[in-house]
Amino acid sequence: MLPANHLLRRIDQCLDTGELREALADHYSARGRPSIDPELLIRMTLIGRIYAITSERRLCEELRYNLAYRWFCRLTPGDKVPHHSTFSKNRHGRFRDAGVFRQLFEATVRRCIGKGLVGGKDAAIDASFIEADACWQRKTVPGYLPYVANAGRPVREWLADQGSISTKPGGSKDFEGVSRTDPAAAWSARPGRARFGYALNALVDTPSGVALDVEATPARFAEEVDAGRVMLGRAADRFDYHPKRIAADKAYGSAGFLGFVRDQGAIPHIPVIDRTQQTKGKLPRTAFSYDRDTDSFTCPIGKTLRHYTFHLRTGVHRYAADARDCEGCVLRKTCTKARRRTLVRLDNEDARDLARAELETGLFKRSMRLRRGVERFFADAKGKHGMRRLHLRGIRGAEEEFLIGAAVMNLMILARPQRLTDKPRRGRCIPAALTPAAISARSIEHDVIVSPPRRYA
């Protein structure tokens, strides 16, 4: 009844649930009525994400009469389908305590690495807004949240994570209150109208499109940048993944993040957040030359601006000229209105200079083209797998949905027919088969030749 090339048949060949069984073994009792097989619930969850079935009631209903779904879940036509409430009981208990979905996702990453799909040269980081399951009208300030004993699970989890009720998240300028149903979600007007939502943060190996890590955060820019650090560090620890080049948009172009990428041994192909030209008609900082040996600036007429303070929290060095030098300066009107001219230099200015130097190189332009792989990841998650709006609430619920979605998309890459037959893709360049003359003829300026990105099947 099921065709040999059916999608679920191909995904079943790439799926190994042995580790999940071991992780959940201690959570089930050997006495009493037989428990529902956890592998059955995991396979049902995968079907729901593959075919964008966001309702667990509808998933259980379709599993009753769809033979392909029954075959994938190892159910015979006469077996009983679990009740939809079984998902909630296991998700908020056994699965969450054992970290099942994180293990499932990391298993797909290791399989992609074992198949040679992850090149380890180019990676991209980005975040996309996912709407939370929270009505915009049910908004209040944290002090007026429901009493803890009567609150729902997302509210209780949020209060436990906060430790105490805070009135404003750190780094938030336009705080508009919290949701009474999902207080962990952030109020954001990105994109379009304002809504509560989360950020799906992803680290993607751009030539292959394999998701190496995902992280759930409230939809705030500051937390998305912090999630980028977490994902890079976790991928390095768990998969020994150290890309040579990391691409991202300008939101990640702060000095701190550029310095972190450089310290990881990668070249940041990221536009720099630079406000040095916002001088309101005065001389910009580029008009002053910096001397690294003396740690000082020199103005256009040759006067010195010496270092006088450093802010440890912000990583900002401040330099100032002598007030007596500025009093009789011929450029005073075009330089400053203050008593003396001051300049700032960030602690990671070297990383900013490195990122600026890469802007006009061919590798940077190539990284910007390959960065479309992470955008394709978000497009498939929302358009093909039903992740425009979350089904679960709370930061843990969002993380579980993101992990399941990323695991499914990695399985879809593994399940392509050419992956299962171990045959090279059509048009794929194999570096070992190229001679130095052929490489020179193609004017390749990087060390690995990769075919242009192709549309997913």
- Same structural domain for residues 126 and 225? yes
**Within 13 Å and on the Cβ side, how many CA atoms surround 166?**
13
- Same structural domain for residues 126 and 236? yes
Neighbouring residues of 393: CB distance < 8 A, sequence distance ≥ 6 = 132, 133, 134, 152, 153, 154, 181, 182
Q: If you search the block for the tokens 């957040």, which residue do you land on? A: 273
- What count of other Cβ atoms lies within 10 Å of the Cβ of residue 278? 8
pTM over 0.85: no
Domain end marker among 65, 98, 131: 98
Determine the Cα–Cα distance for residues 206 and 434; give it in Å rounded to an integer: 22
List the single range of 19-28, 36-45, 342-351 with lowest mean pLDDT. 19-28
- Same structural domain for residues 27 and 129? no
List the single range of 61-65, 273-277, 412-416 with lowest mean pLDDT. 273-277
Bond preceding residue 191 cis, omega within 30 of 0:
yes
Using CA atoms, how far residue 437 sits from 171, 226, 452, in Å, is 54, 44, 21
Determine the Cα–Cα distance for residues 341 and 325; give it in Å rounded to an integer: 10
Q: Highest mean pLDDT: which of 17-21, 308-312, 393-397?
A: 393-397
Determine the Cα–Cα distance for residues 39 and 62; give it in Å rounded to an integer: 18
- Same structural domain for residues 218 and 181? yes
- Same structural domain for residues 197 and 290? no
Q: Which two tokens stand for residue 155?
A: 């509210």
- What count of other Cβ atoms lies within 10 Å of the Cβ of residue 62? 18
Within-domain flag for 235: yes
- Same structural domain for residues 178 and 313? no
DSSP SS3 for 297: strand
Domain range enclosing 139? 118-249+373-401
- Same structural domain for residues 132 and 220? yes
Q: What is the pLDDT of residue 147?
A: 53
Within-domain flag for 360: no
Q: What is the pLDDT of residue 287?
A: 85
| Residue 433: burial class (beta carbons within 10 Å; 0-12, 13-18, 19+) | exposed
Q: What is the pLDDT of residue 384?
A: 92
| pLDDT single digits (tens) 161-186 | 875 444 455 545 555 578 888 888 98
Q: How many domains does the chain have?
A: 3
| pLDDT single digits (tens) 186-239 | 888 877 788 899 999 999 999 889 999 999 999 988 899 999 999 999 999 999
| Bridge-based pairing state of the strands 122-131 and 195-205 | antiparallel
Domain end marker among 386, 401, 416: 401
| pLDDT single digits (tens) 182-198 | 888 988 887 778 889 99
Q: Which two tokens stand for residue 111?
A: 């399989």
Average pLDDT on 428-448 reads 39
- Same structural domain for residues 71 and 191? no
- Same structural domain for residues 61 and 125? no
Percent of the residues in the chain that have a pLDDT greater than 90, as a whole number: 38
Q: What is the pLDDT of residue 347?
A: 80
- Same structural domain for residues 198 and 60? no
DSSP state of 145: S
Domain end marker among 98, 131, 158: 98
Higher pLDDT, 337 or 410: 410
- Same structural domain for residues 237 and 142? yes
- Same structural domain for residues 127 and 88? no
